[in-house]
Amino acid sequence: MQPLTPTERTALRRVPERGSFERERLEEILDEALVCHVGLAGEHGPVVIPMSYARAGDRLYLHGSSASRLLRSLRDGVEACVTVTLLDGLVLARSAFHHSVNYRSAVVFGTARELTDAAEKLAALRAIVEHVVPGRWSDTRGPSAKELARTLVLALPLDEASVKLRTGPPVDDEEDRELDHWAGVIPLRLEAAEPVRDPELRDGIPCPAYATRYGRPGA
């Protein structure tokens, strides 16, 4: 795959060794995470809102109610910054100063485009459901024309994006290495618990494997 091209706003100035412009890294992060944070300059200042999403090829799909002001601003061509963060661990150094976090994050800049073609819109909604729960789409009642009309679906190109990450043990200053404080990493990950049936679910419908064995790719 072609690497991403750094731009004025994606070039990493301070700690370049934590950056990556490999498209594989970007895709892995976007495919593993469940929530993105969408930022834009609103009428009354910056706004950052969490959203579901999906990646398909070199696009990110966002969706929501046609009545959502934020989605309508995006549809109208307001610039967006979409950030996805995976928290992998807490890094405990001997010095307070070198405490850190192991993480992988992706930042995407761009302008979204509304999907208006019904087939394209449906494919994007399918991608979002399948991103969140692989295997679920074919086990649902698909969207009606009315539901489709009430849903705004946007595509954001993955042209201008960057990845930042930190992995591995703490890095203390040489003179601190012999101190008595424990040092290491507390790994973190998102875990699924036993699915909880809808209390209104009618009898005789077993919980599907995609729900009982839920886990994120790469996690």
**Subset of residues 21 to 40 that bind a second copy, contact rule: CB under 8 A:** 34-35, 37-40
User: Is 54 buried (19+), middle (13-18) or exposed (0-12) by CB count in 10 A?
Assistant: buried
Length of the chain: 219
- Report in angstroms how near the CB of residue 23 gets to a second copy at its nearest: 21
Q: Give the residue, chosen from 113, 136, 157, 166, that forms a contact with a second copy under the rule CB under 8 A.
A: 136
Q: Which is nearer to a second copy, 21 or 87 (CB)?
A: 87
Q: Give the residue, chosen from 20, 26, 55, 103, that forms a contact with a second copy under the rule CB under 8 A.
A: 103
Q: Rule CB under 8 A: say whether 92 interacts with a second copy.
A: yes
Separation of alpha carbons 25 and 29, rounded Å: 6
Cross-strand pairs, 100: 91
Q: Give the residue, chosen from 11, 118, 149, 190, that forms a contact with a second copy under the rule CB under 8 A.
A: 190
Contact in structure between 153 and 63 (CB atoms under 8 Å): yes
Q: Rule CB under 8 A: say whether 131 interacts with a second copy.
A: no
Count CB atoms within 10 A of the CB of residue 27.
17
Sheet harboring 100-111: ordered strands across? 19-20, 160-166, 100-111, 79-92, 36-42, 45-51
- What is the DSSP track for 159-178? SEEEEEEE-SS----GGGTT
Q: Give the residue, chosen from 14, 17, 145, 217, that forms a contact with a second copy under the rule CB under 8 A.
A: 14
Of the candidates 17, 60, 24, 26, which has an alpha carbon nearest to the alpha carbon of residue 166?
Answer: 17
End-to-end CA distance of the chain: 23
Q: Rule CB under 8 A: say whether 207 interacts with a second copy.
A: yes
What is the DSSP-derived secondary structure letter of residue 84?
A: E
Q: Rule CB under 8 A: say whether 17 interacts with a second copy.
A: no
Q: Give the residue, chosen from 1, 182, 203, 217, that forms a contact with a second copy under the rule CB under 8 A.
A: 182
Q: Give the residue, chosen from 16, 118, 181, 218, that forms a contact with a second copy under the rule CB under 8 A.
A: 181
Q: Which is nearer to a second copy, 22 or 79 (CB)?
A: 79
Q: Rule CB under 8 A: say whether 180 interacts with a second copy.
A: yes
- Report in angstroms how near the CB of residue 55 gets to a second copy at its nearest: 17
Q: Which is nearer to a second copy, 25 or 126 (CB)?
A: 126
Residue 103: φ, ψ to 5°: -155, 165
Total number of residues binding a second copy (CB under 8 A)? 95
Q: Which is nearer to a second copy, 8 or 17 (CB)?
A: 8
